[in-house]
Amino acid sequence: MHRASILMVRCPNTGHELSTGVEMDSGTFVQLPDIQSRVKCPACGHDHILSTREAWLGDPAPSVPEFTWLFINNRNLPND
């Protein structure tokens, strides 16, 4: 059994780590397809296109900004 961690991404403007609030284990993480989503960044306030290929699993500190990142196919963005 794999231990669950939080799916993390990084703000491309500030370099700050961001928590998506999505918990998953490493077995599930390695099976994720490349999904891109446009999100409003809580670190810099700008919109970014973030990809699951840029994400990692971690255990964020309570001070790490969190936002909800929905894993949906955005028809305006290319996905695998």
pLDDT tens for residues 12-67?
999 999 888 889 999 999 998 988 888 888 889 899 888 889 999 998 877 877 77
* pTM of the shown model: 0.75
pLDDT score at 62: 79
Give the span between the Cα atoms of 34 and 77, in whole angstroms. 11
- Contact of 11 with 54, CB cutoff 8 Å: no
pLDDT number for residue 73: 43
pLDDT for res 13: 95
Phi and psi at residue 50, to the nearest 5°: -110, 145
Whole domain around residue 79: which residue ranges?
1-80
Residue 28 three-state SS: helix
pLDDT for res 72: 44
Amino acid at 26: S
52 burial via Cβ count (<10 Å: 0-12, 13-18, 19+) = buried
